[in-house]
Every structure is written in structure tokens, then in C-alpha cells.
Amino acid sequence: MTDAVAATAVETQDAASPDAATDAPADKAASVDEALPDLGQRAPAQPTCRNYDEFVSRGSESPIITTCETLSPTLLGLRPKLYDNGWMFMGFYSASETYDLRGQEARPQMYNGQRPSFSGTLLTITTYDLSRLGWWGERSQLTFETSSSRTVYRDAGLNDDLAVAQLSVQQEFAKGRVRIQYGYYGMLGQFVGLFLGASTASSALGPTSIIPNLAGMAAFKPVPGFDIRLYSKDGRFYDHFGVARSQSPDGFLVDSKENPSGLKWSVPDAKPIYVNEIGYRVASSADTRMTWIRQGSIYNRTRYNDFSKPGQKGQNHAYYLVADYQFTQPDKDMPYRGWYVNLKGNYAAPEHNIFSSDYALTLYSLAPFAKRPGDMVSIGYTRNEVSKDAVNYLRSQGMDPVRFSSSASLSYALRAARGIYWVNTFSYTRNPVITQQHPDALNLQSQLTFSF
């Protein structure tokens, strides 16, 4: 079984203090104006990392870490100049190693970690404030992302040279109540999300789901698409609709090979996919606890193989329901701090998908210790039900498939230093290989992420 795609994201306040995260001491920055002679005018205020965050990429449900928490908040003096001209640049590099502690090495490798499995990913994000050019809308932004990934276990991820990960424009209207986005991007990150936790850099991953991806929502390579978000007057209720080119019905590895640059308009046999998500969302504050409930429907016009009728094909569909709630809030000065629960259920057409359903429960804590506000811990369980139609089909092909795969996980994200996170995850998986009976796996994954 390949690595699954995490299906939720929690948008929280940043754990680090912006004053402590700047390159220069806060008292020196605050005293610049006082040291200037009185010439009848004041020097413009020096922007801080919070100002730079105004131009961080928007739209994705996977929150990006604040620039205050990068290796160099001023990017060695470059960010103030970029900020003055409407630009923002951020980058991330993650390296991880996964290994089954039960020592069940084999060739060929059947699941991630069966043999020592290294992977590395470099991501860069550049944005530009289009509103200064007079573009229609209150806020408009151009986002350009590139990525490069390497893994020794080819079936677990991508092996790409530098490619485009996103090229899109986002605009807002009616004081932010209407937001549209169009261009090339991964649909999964814009709706369900890719991370459980505070940010792309500091997430301690819990149980995961790959059903939206199996149903055609692109995650790893961008697709041409359009989506629109409509918010209630208080911003709590929303409806999010999108249409895009589906991922290849043969899976994300085939889709990636067919789209090496990330900017290909079409790939063989992939047709439009439609997604609609309705939700209710409240952020943590001194008076409220974080709550996020969302339900999504996926309809894909792409024709997938029919396991119940070999040789025939049909259109695909899926549904998801996810809920997050913060049930403790020990520190009103850090309202995001506390324990959360995440509940998730997914369903997909059993005749067209290997997994017909899954459900998961995750408990996670942001800032589990008062003296470590940047850390995160998660404990979770997930169970994936293999479609009965898929089981019957695989048996007809001479295989001995399992009926389910389940995982229990314990993960801790440690803020090692500003801009550096170290995430360690233990996971125990029953039936790590879907197509045959196989002993359970006990994986340890260790990942270092550098943000700059």
C-alpha cells in the first residue's frame, strides 16, 4: 500500500512570536525613528514578518507557515525589497526516511518502508500582488510554485525533475465574501487539504485518506481548473465549488508521467471533475474554540474500469465528511493551544475504486507543552475498506487480496529551531499490501523540514 494523502487541514494562529522571529532585535527595529534627526518627515516603517505574510499564497486548505518561522524572516535582506514591490518568495525542503522496524525487507518492495525508503522534496512558492496593477477585485494574487521530488521507492511517490506545481490567479470580491481562483493547481489541496495540523512545515500527520485522490482529485501534479468560494456575512458558513481536469484514471504516477512539466492541458482519457463542498468554520480566538465541519461531493466524468463488469467502464463519484473541534483551550493568550479531535469518513463507488470507504479518528494537540508552543502531537486510527467488487476482480486474476487495511499512528512534530521542524511518526499497519496477504508492518518515519 502506497503512502496515503492526508485529508484535513486546521488553520490556526502562528505559534511563534513575530518579535522573536525577526533577524534584528525587536528593540533596535523599534528605535529607528527615534534615532533620526527631525527633518520634517518620518522614515517609512520597516516591514516585519507579519507584513510579509500579507503576500503568502492564498487559496489552499493546507496553511503555509508564517515567514516569522523561516530560517531567515527577511530572507537575508531580500524580503523587504520584494515586499515593497508586491512580491513574496518562500521555499521548503523536506527529507524523510521510512523503515519497517520488523525488518521485513524484500525485493521487489511492496510497500513504503519495507526496505529503507528515502524521499526528498523541494518546493518554492512565488507570489505577486496583482491588485497594484488595477486588476478587478479587492485583492488579487498570482501564485507560481515549482517542485522537485525524489524517492527510492518509486511506487510511493514521484521522481521528477523541476516542474510547475501551481500557476494560478486568485481574486476576491464583496469584502472577501466571494473568492475565485483559476489556472493550474492541485484540486485536493484546494478542497479537502493535504495536512492535519498547523502548517505545511509543522504537521504531525495522523490517519490519512486516499479516496478523493482515487476518485480523480489531483494532488501531486497541477491540473487546469476553476473554483469559487461563497461565504456568509459572518464568514462562518461557506460553499466551495470547483471544476477541473481529472487526474488520469490510471493513477497519479501515470498522470505525472503524462504531464512532466505540470502545465499540460490534457492527458489521455481524463475528463472534467466537479467538486462541491459545504462547510462551517470558526477559528480559535479568546472567545471561541476552533470548529470546522465540511461535506464534499465529487463527480468525475472520466470513465474508470468497472470491477463488477470487467471490460466495461463508467463515470466515478465519491463523498467525504470531515469534522474538527478544539475541546480544550488552556491558555487564552494562545487560543490555538489545546487538544483537538478530527473525525473523517469517505465513500467511493465500489465498482470503480480499490477502496470503497474509510473512516478515521485522530486526537491531536497544538502546543502540547506551554514552553514548546511550536510543537504538535497526534494519535490516530484509520480503517480502509477494500471494495467487494475489487476483491472479486483481483481473485479472478489469481491474487489473494485482503478485505481491509488499517493503521494506528503516533506522531510528534518538534520545532528544533526557527525554520526547522523534525517530525517522527510510528505507525502500525495491518495488511500493508492490498493484493496479497502480508504480515503487519511497524513503520518509523523521520522527517526534517527546512523553511526559508
Look at residues 55, 129, 121 and name the one whose alpha carbon lies nearest to residue 93.
Answer: 121
Is residue 103 exposed (0-12), middle (13-18) or buried (19+ Cβ within 10 Å)?
A: exposed
For residue 172, what are the contacts with CB-CB under 8 A and spacing of at least 6?
A: 137, 138, 139, 140, 178, 179
The pLDDT value recorded for residue 264 is 92
* Cα gap 315→300, rounded to integer Å: 6
The pLDDT value recorded for residue 195 is 61
* Cα gap 387→320, rounded to integer Å: 16
* Cα gap 275→298, rounded to integer Å: 5
For residue 437, what are the contacts with CB-CB under 8 A and spacing of at least 6?
A: 400, 402, 431
Look at residues 341, 340, 338, 342 and name the one whose alpha carbon lies nearest to residue 373.
Answer: 338
Q: Which domains, and CATH codes, for the chain?
A: 18-34+45-451 (2.40.160.180)
The pLDDT value recorded for residue 350 is 96
CB-based contact 451:92 (threshold 8 Å)? yes
Is residue 44 exposed (0-12), middle (13-18) or buried (19+ Cβ within 10 Å)?
A: exposed
Q: Are strands 178-185 and 139-151 parallel, antiparallel or unpaired?
A: unpaired
Helical spans, DSSP H, in 247-345: 252-258
The position carrying cell 499512528 is 409
Q: Taking the CA atoms of the chain, what radius of gyration do you get in angstroms?
A: 23
* Cα gap 332→337, rounded to integer Å: 8
DSSP secondary structure letters along 377-392: EEEEEEEEEEPHHHHH
Q: Which pTM was predicted?
A: 0.85
Look at residues 434, 449, 426, 451 and name the one whose alpha carbon lies nearest to residue 100.
Answer: 426
Q: How far is CA 392 from CA 298, 387, 431, in A?
A: 25, 9, 17
Residues present in the chain in total: 452
* Cα gap 430→432, rounded to integer Å: 6
| 51 three-state secondary structure | helix
Separate counts of helices (H) and strands (E) for the chain: 9, 16
* Cα gap 370→350, rounded to integer Å: 46
The pLDDT value recorded for residue 219 is 83
Look at residues 345, 302, 344 and name the one whose alpha carbon lies nearest to residue 325.
Answer: 344
Q: In the chain, how long is the greatest CA-to-CA distance?
A: 86
CB-based contact 303:313 (threshold 8 Å)? yes
* Cα gap 287→235, rounded to integer Å: 16
Rounded to the nearest angstrom, the gap between the alpha carbon of residue 185 and the centroid of all alpha carbons in its chain is 12
Residue 233 parent element (H or E)? none
**Regions of the chain with pLDDT less than 70:** 1-44, 154-160, 193-209
* Cα gap 308→391, rounded to integer Å: 10
The position carrying cell 527510492 is 152
